[in-house]
Amino acid sequence: MRSTISKYVTAFAVLASSVSFAQAADVEVLHWWTSGGEAAALNVLKKDLEGQGIGWQDMPVAGGGGTQAMTVLRARVTSGNAPTAVQMLGFDITDWAKEGALANLNDVASAEGWDKVVPEALQKFSKYDGQWVAAPVNVHSTNWVWANKKILDDLGIEQPKTWDELVAAMQKVKDSGKTAVAHGGQPWQDATIFDAVVMATGGPEFYQKAFIDLDKEALGSDTMKEAFDRMTVIRSFVDDNFSGRDWNLASAMVINDEAAFQFMGDWAKGEFLKAGKKPDEDFLCFRFPGTQEQVTFNSDQFAMFKQGDTPSEEQKALAKAIMAPSFQSAFNVVKGSVPARTDVPDTDFDACGKKGMKDLAAASESGNLFGSMAHGHANPASVKNAMYDVITAQFNGEYDSETAVQELVSAVDLAQ
């Protein structure tokens, strides 16, 4: 893990209630946005707060998916030194809210009208027991394919729309001597692919039963075995050096014409944009074949940890800044995600961003918007991590598909 870096920014604010000057308190923010594209997006928020005279104390913890960050957070809270705000996903927010560790943001939410503009699927995680405890920054969808347009064009490969077409495309790339699938061998990345594969293999009803309802029959079914079989196929198209690779390095393989496809959430787009690549010209973005009508999502949110009986003025300002329509647009244009607010226009978004916003609206309207298992929006961390273990073991050849199904049922049963 990369060393944690601390940067201290001091600023002065003019208090609205008086003409006197006072040094503003810093907000210490724990997050895992450490790749180039992510850091660029986060800088939008830093500058917004600096403009309000609020200093930013950075606490980045490297590691996509946030597993390491949550370990660091637990240690900080246990020692009685919680950060001001923490980037969180899904059930991690709920778990901390249950412990009574999060500040009540209802006053800010009411004044700013959050209830009217944040989709209910997100509010499920932004609220606990009727109280707002987190401010959603974005909506990421996880079932994307990122493709190198030059490689596909050179090999005469059309955008695959079915599993069989995807397999044929991957084989054609492999035969050409290029890497077909850029992948980082980390549990959360393995699970991100499995998310899409299960949705494509079994469809939305099966995904609901298996990953959200944790139905034993679905988890132990022939359909789940077929999904693991497909993971074995994908594994055959990954290069030999994938183990432990960070996701953004896998993105770089596609960017640098070394690999054709990456199966990753839309945060990957930030890496392409930072590298000066343009959607539909240098790279393609499309849904994992077989999931064109569905969206699996996660939402980055900032939870405010209690610093006293009520949120501090800096925490309120941070929450307001995060939810401001102008920030939601500016941040998500850079990040690759789409706004958490439904009233933000798509004017400034590129082709992939517009597509993402359109897909999200359609999936929400049709009931095809599902919390991502891989990213903590289908079940609590204990269940998610139990699934991770089985998925990664199978992807690395430790289990055959039949054994993996049996292990998945057992692991989920024990984790509940």
Q: Report pLDDT for 22.
A: 34
Rounded Cα gap, residues 264 and 262, in angstroms: 6
72 and 61 in contact (C-beta within 8 Å)?
A: yes
What is the rounded distance in angstroms from the CA atom of residue 388 to the CA atom of residue 383? 9
Cα–Cα distance measured from residue 202 to residue 303, given in angstroms and rounded to the nearest whole number: 34
224 touches 144 (CB < 8 A):
no
pLDDT of residue 11: 26
Q: Mark out the alpha helices in 18-86 (DSSP H runs).
A: 36-51, 67-78
Which pLDDT does position 193 carry in this prediction?
A: 98
**pLDDT at res. 308:** 87
The pLDDT value recorded for residue 406 is 98
C-alpha span between 409 and 415 (Å, rounded):
10
HSE toward the beta carbon, residue 299, CA cutoff 13 A: 33
Question: Cα torsion for 353, 179, 192, 209, to the nearest 10°?
Answer: 110
What pLDDT sits at residue 41?
84
**Gyration radius of the chain's alpha carbons:** 21
pLDDT by residue for the chain (416 residues), tens only, comes to: 333 333 322 222 222 222 222 345 789 999 998 888 788 888 888 998 898 899 999 999 988 778 899 999 999 999 999 999 999 989 999 999 999 999 999 999 999 999 999 988 899 999 999 999 999 999 999 999 999 999 999 999 999 999 999 999 999 999 999 999 999 999 999 999 999 999 999 999 999 999 999 999 999 999 999 999 999 999 999 999 999 999 999 999 999 999 999 999 999 998 999 999 999 999 999 999 999 999 999 999 999 999 889 999 999 999 999 999 999 998 898 888 999 998 999 999 999 999 999 998 888 889 899 999 999 899 998 999 999 999 999 999 999 999 999 999 999 999 99
Tokens of 48: 């917004």
Residue extents of the structural domains in the chain? 12-139+298-355, 141-296+372-415
pLDDT given for residue 12 in this prediction: 22
Tell me the whole-structure pTM to 2 decimals.
0.83
| Cα–Cα distance, 87 to 142 (Å, whole number) | 18
Q: Is 44 exposed, middle or buried (0-12, 13-18, 19+ CB in 10 A)?
A: middle
Please state, in angstroms and as integers, the Cα–Cα distance from residue 373 to each residue in 66, 70, 169, 250, 381, following that order: 14, 17, 27, 21, 10
What gap in Å lies between CA 383 and CA 410, rounded to an integer?
11
Give the largest CA-CA distance in the chain.
71
CATH of domain 12-139+298-355: 3.40.190.10
141-296+372-415 has CATH 3.40.190.10 classification? yes
